[in-house]
Amino acid sequence: MVQESKLNVGILGGGPAGCLAAYFLQDYCNITIIDYSSILRTILPTGGGRCNLAHYEFDFKELAKNYPRGEKFLYSVFSKYSTAETISTFEDLGIKTYVQNDNRIFPESNSSKDVRTKMINSLKDVQIKKEKGLRIEVVNDKIKIVTDMNSYYFDKLIIAIGGHSAFEIVSRLGVNIIAPAPSLVGLVTSQNFKELAGIAIKDVECCGIFGDILFTHKGISGPLIYKISSLKARDKKPYSISINLYSKEIALQELLNKNPHKQINNLLSEYLPLNFVNYLLEQISIIKTEKCHNINGKQRDLILDIIHNFKLDIIGVNKDGEVVTSGGVDLSEVNSKTMESKRIKGLYFIGEVLDIDGFCGGFNLQNCWSTAFVCANAIKNSNI
Ligand SMILES: Cc1cc2nc3c(=O)[nH]c(=O)nc-3n(C[C@H](O)[C@H](O)[C@H](O)COP(=O)(O)OP(=O)(O)OC[C@H]3O[C@@H](n4cnc5c(N)ncnc54)[C@H](O)[C@@H]3O)c2cc1C
């Protein structure tokens, strides 16, 4: 009987996506990972060092709603591999998980270092080359990759270089790249909040979503702002946002009538932090120590307007969040059933290098695991 020879598969980039693809393929193909850095270095800071590796959402269409870029593309990917399969794969790797009360899934060890060690230990039959990929060429039916030290020829090459890399290595092949922009970041405002830095306000509303915000030296940050930065990642700056700082109704006139001798800042500090109230009152030229009985109807309306409609001008981003890249390999160039390039046979894209990015909560790693599986499965099946 003639034994089918194993495919030689190269993986450029040993981050979460590249390493999981290697794990899935190592029993079926000869695998070489090429990474100029230590593999899985990029998993260490995830989830604040705890590795938020997935999200407790088992309906794949609901799961896909958490990706401002890539939702439709991910339907097919997630229908094959999503949260349940992720939990099971990590169990196979010896990593038990638990669900936090906000539905984020973490390893029981609460340690991305532990996840990294176990993932690296699972790679038994994989060659690792600490080299930088410089150029990719198609030579007959092989894919050649030139690094800073060597040249390699592979039957298949998986590109898993993430979103923070130079995309030229891919664009030189004629693959279209959607211009990268940072997402899940703090926002820089034209307003100066230096004196308010550190003040957090809970459960405010912006663009129809609720969450917490935090003032910083450069502007504004916090979970809600990361989400806004994601939704608006492709918007041209400057742009304006309006925040409802207190989403319930405030019966201000009634309160003013009931507390005529109270200072207006103290009255409002029942709703918002005092320092911040002082800032708001200054913006609308009301003396912060003014007694409530001196606040007239026009001033009352100004107060309500600035609380429910606090306008900010966004002039830039401050990379203080998860920092993922919106942009990358144009999804119209990739077959969502296999992750193979539609232009170049044998070339695959997985993980954050794709024009896919999700909100905070485990969604970006889920994209890595799922696209790695779909790609590995397609390569396995192509060799049968
Ligand atoms: C601070 C922080 C916290 C995060 N926390 C979470 C979280 O809790 N949950 C979540 O879901 N997501 C989180 N993310 C996002 C998540 O880490 C990324 O989406 C994920 O790492 C992307 O994986 P990847 O394998 O596609 O690419 P990367 O992780 O970027 O890996 C790419 C690899 O390719 C290598 N490489 C690049 N170019 C070349 C080249 N030319 N030659 C050789 N090697 C190359 C790099 O060295 C790197 O090792 C976080 C991100 C950050 C920055």
Mean pLDDT of the 37-55 span: 97
Residues 102 and 193 in one domain: no
- The range of the structural domain enclosing residue 294 comes to 186-318
**312, pLDDT greater than 90:** yes
| Ligand 1 centroid, distance to 347 Cα (angstroms) | 20
Query: Are 125 and 256 within one domain?
Result: no
Give the count of domains, the chain: 2
pLDDT digits (tens, 9 = 90+) for 104-120: 999 999 999 999 999 99
Q: Are residues 285 and 354 in the same domain?
A: no
pLDDT higher than 80, residue 130: yes
Q: Which residue's CA is minimally distant from atom 51 of ligand 1?
A: 322
161 Cα to the center of ligand 1, angstroms: 8
Are 71 and 18 members of one domain?
Answer: yes
Is 2 within the bounds of a domain? no
Whether 22 is in a domain gets the answer yes
Q: Is the CB of 183 under 6 A from ligand 1?
A: no
- Is 380's C-beta closer than 6 angstroms to any atom of ligand 1? no
363 lines ligand 1 (CB under 6 A): yes
Same domain assignment for residues 162 and 248: no
Ligand 1 in reach of 225 Cβ (< 6 A): no
> Is the link from the previous residue into 107 a cis peptide, with omega within 30 of 0?
no
What is the best residue among 20, 352, 370 to mutate for testing ligand 1's pocket, by most ligand atoms within 8 Å of CB? 352
Pure H helices in the chain: 16-25, 60-64, 71-80, 83-92, 112-122, 168-171, 223-231, 252-258, 264-268, 274-283, 297-308, 363-382
- Report which residue type is found at 64: A
Q: Which two tokens stand for residue 235?
A: 């918007």
Do 191 and 313 fall into the same domain? Answer: yes
pTM of the model: 0.95
Nearest to 105 by CA among 71, 61, 63, 75: 63
Domain boundary (318, 350, 367) is at 318
In this structure, the answer to whether residues 313 and 193 fall within a common structural domain is yes
Report CA(16)–ligand 1 centroid distance (Å).
7
Residues 285 and 357 occupy one common structural domain: no
Do 221 and 214 touch, CB atoms closer than 8 A?
yes
The whole-angstrom separation of Cα 331 and Cα 353 is 10
3-state SS string for 207-271: CCEEEEEEECCCEEECHHHHHHHHHCCCCCCCEEEEEECCCCCCCHHHHHHHCCCCEHHHHHCCC
Same-domain status, 218 and 313: yes
Beta-sheet strand order (sheet of 142-147): 133-139, 142-147, 151-154
378 and 245 in a common domain: no
Is the pLDDT confidence value at 383 over 90?
no
| Average pLDDT of the chain, as a whole number | 96
Whether the Cβ atoms of residue 355 and residue 70 lie closer than 8 Å to each other: yes
Ligand 1 within 6 A of CB of 321: no
346 located within any domain: yes
Confidence tier at 164 by pLDDT (50, 70, 90): confident
pLDDT digits (tens, 9 = 90+) for 198-254: 999 999 999 999 999 999 999 999 999 999 999 999 999 999 999 999 989 999 999
CATH number where 104 lies: 3.50.50.60
Give yes or no: residues 295 and 340 share one domain.
no
